[in-house]
Structure 1
Amino acid sequence: MKINDVVFGELEYNYGWVKYTTIEFCGKEAEIALMVKGEEDGKFDEEQYSAYTSLVQNWERLQQGFLQAIVDSYKLERQELGYDIEVNENYPQIETTNQLLEMITLVGIVVPYGDINEDRDIGITFDCTWDTENGLGLRLLNEKVAEVGYQDVAI
């Protein structure tokens, strides 16, 4: 089943609404899945529209913040795993966001149900070279990174 939503565009229902699209991320085009939580009736919460619209309007400005949050989280995880002392080829040292960009791929934007959080809630998912199984996820609340972790934090 497909719908053409005024804000999200053409979506297809597959245990949730999804659209495959291309967006720009840090100067490169990324093929992503836009996943919008919702029932088969295709009705979405006002909060979902608000969160997504705000993300789109601020997308350019937000990207460097995503990268810095990921670098900080990566450094912490690397230290907790002891790879700051013992070399692990899957966890090389990263100092810059440009180095990070070589290791991550934007794969999705998730718009959760609007009634779960009072804030504008969005998930961003990435594939990453250091954890191919779990990937990487960001949870944004009011366009600020609230959590960095596995992809499931974004879903």
Structure 2
Amino acid sequence: MTTISDPVFGELSYNYTWARDTTILFWGKETEIVLMIDGEENGKFDEEQYSAYQSFMQHWEQLQRSILQPILDYYQEKRHELGYDIEQNEYYPLVETTEQILEMITLEGILVSYGDIYEERDMGILFHCTWDEENGLGLRLLNEKVANVGYQDVAI
């Protein structure tokens, strides 16, 4: 396995993507996550990736507040699509607040995407969620704003 020490991303190992386990504060709790960086085996990253990651980390505290409402909206829409707003389902209980949705998600990982796909700073956030353990929950952020919420693959 190839490993490198990057001045911005830290100690990384390569297994089809560059990654390292790290700890991040998520709503005041230290949370173990995987930091993943898209890149070739040569360990060279785009300036856009560094910029996206640094801006993301700089704004992480405010971002945490801004992502819960889009997650709640996504959950409520999914619950309605599946008919669980009419028929009860233990995995899709009635949830009306961002505090309730926060109890249903666990931060798993952060992905720094290739820098040339979008014009904006592009980051993905991966969550485990109680209502869909198979597909999980993913967010794509462009310029530190939620651009897409869905299964984990939207973040990849």
Which of the five TM-score ranges fits, normalised by the shorter chain?
over 0.9
| Aligned match of 1:146 | 147
Output the TM-score relative to the length of structure 2.
0.97
Flag structure 2 segments of 5+ consecutive residues without an equivalent: none
Shift of 1:151: 0.3
Aligned mates of 2:126, 2:108 — CA distance in 1: 6
Shift of 1:65: 1.1
Shift of 1:119: 0.5
Residue identity matched to 1:129: T
| Aligned match of 1:28 | 29
The DSSP-based 3-state class of the residue aligned with 2:70 is helix
Shift of 1:132: 0.3
Q: Which string of whole-angstrom CA distances, capped at 9 and with x for unpartnered residues, describes residues 47-99 of structure 1?
A: 00010000000000010111111001101111111111111010011111111
Shift of 1:31: 0.7
| Aligned match of 2:83 | 82
Output the TM-score relative to the length of structure 1.
0.98
Moved segments of 4+, more than 6 Å: none
Q: Which moved more, 1:75-84 or 1:145-154?
A: 75-84
> 1:122-133 counterparts in 2 under 5 A?
122-133=123-134
| Aligned match of 1:134 | 135
Flag structure 1 segments of 5+ consecutive residues without an equivalent: none
Q: Which string of whole-angstrom CA distances, capped at 9 and with x for unpartnered residues, describes residues 91-143 of structure 1?
A: 01111111112111000000111111111000000000100000000000000
The DSSP-based 3-state class of the residue aligned with 2:59 is helix
Could you say what the CA RMSD is over the residues aligned between the two structures, in angstroms? 0.7
The DSSP-based 3-state class of the residue aligned with 1:41 is coil
